[in-house]
Amino acid sequence: MQKSTSSHRAAGLCPAVKSPLAGVTPTRRRLRVFLAHTQADVEDAQRLRYAVFAGEMGANLDASTPGLDLDEFDRHCEHLLVRDEDSRSVVGTYRILAPHRQAQIGRLYADSEFDLSPLNHLRPSLVEVGRSCVHPEYRTGPTILLLWAGLAKFMRNSGYGHLIGCASVSLADGGKQAAALRDQLLPHLADSKHRVVPRLAFPHERIAHPAAVELPPLIKGYLRLGAKVCGEPAWDPDFNTADFLIWLSLENMRPRYARHFDMLATQAHALPQADLAPAPTVFQRREPCHQTGSSAG
């Protein structure tokens, strides 16, 4: 996984942006899940990301293209999208960096936040996911399920065995939720040989916090599948978040949820509105004239 928002980011100084989805209503939902095949598809995902991360959550993005969240990783990634067929708006997205594309860029997004050397042996089969976000009016049921189904299908089709990425928790409350969450996640730590070290650690020990908080849905979903937390969280000052590195080994998934994962992959294959064939390289990096923002990587 790359960086993905769980309770989504807040903070940072950023100009107010009008959401491109301000007129979207969820009354009719004919949704389609697919991998981006055109530059326009990719820009639709980047536009949603910017609206959520900068406009809604206030992340401090270094935007080279106004209204778009883009970075050097985008051209190396597959972009999984959910589109409302009535409004034609992209309402959910996930960014996927497969191993052969990692070789092109030379690193993972998470390498900027953690020393990942304990996971080097997994890299040939390691898919990093992130930049996940969903339009606020679509954060229930179908959209999220379609994203999971598309991701499950991608993993099963590709034959890769591991998912990794950052799940981000906002520090807008002074870090109380993130510090409490760090303690709650201790039983879910990976074994010592798979623990990584944050490059800039989140100083949880200095923060008074409640004994327990509600687990963010994204993290809860990964843990149910059997995912592990690979050590202490990092601090991302640009997004004002604590980032937890999550690792899911498909081999070690809990049997009940492994069956569910396979079922999602099968359902994605059967969806009449799904196009999950690997996309060609559809976008050459444009020179400055648009922009970007983020979710776990």
Looking at residue 194, its pLDDT comes to 97
pLDDT at 20 over 60: no
Q: What is the pTM of this model?
A: 0.80
In this predicted structure, the answer to whether residue 8 has a pLDDT above a threshold of 90 is no
Structural domains of the chain ordered from first start? 3-20+27-272 (3.40.630.30)
pLDDT digits (tens, 9 = 90+) for 45-71: 999 999 998 888 778 877 778 899 999
**Could you report the per-residue pLDDT of 153-211, keeping only the tens digit for each?**
898 888 999 999 999 898 989 999 999 999 999 999 999 999 999 999 999 999 999 98
pLDDT (tens digit, 9 = 90+) per residue, 67-107?
Answer: 999 999 999 999 999 999 999 999 999 999 999 999 899 99
Please write the tens of the pLDDT for every residue from 203-231.
999 999 998 899 887 788 889 888 999 99
Question: In the predicted model, is pLDDT for residue 268 greater than 70?
Answer: no
More reliable by pLDDT, 231 or 259: 231
DSSP labels, the chain = --EEESS----S-------TTTT--TTS--EEEEE--SHHHHHHHHHHHHIIIIIIT------SSTT-B--TTGGGSEEEEEEETTT--EEEEEEEE-HHHHHHHTS-GGGGTEE-GGGGGGGGGEEEEEEEEE-GGG-STHHHHHHHHHHHHHHHHHT--EEEEEEEEE-TTSSHHHHHHHHHTGGGBPPGGG--EESSB--GGGS---S--PPPHHHHHHHHHT-EE-SSPEEETTTTEEEEEEEEEGGGS-HHHHHHHHHHHHHHHH-TTEE-SPPP---PPPPSSS-B--SB-
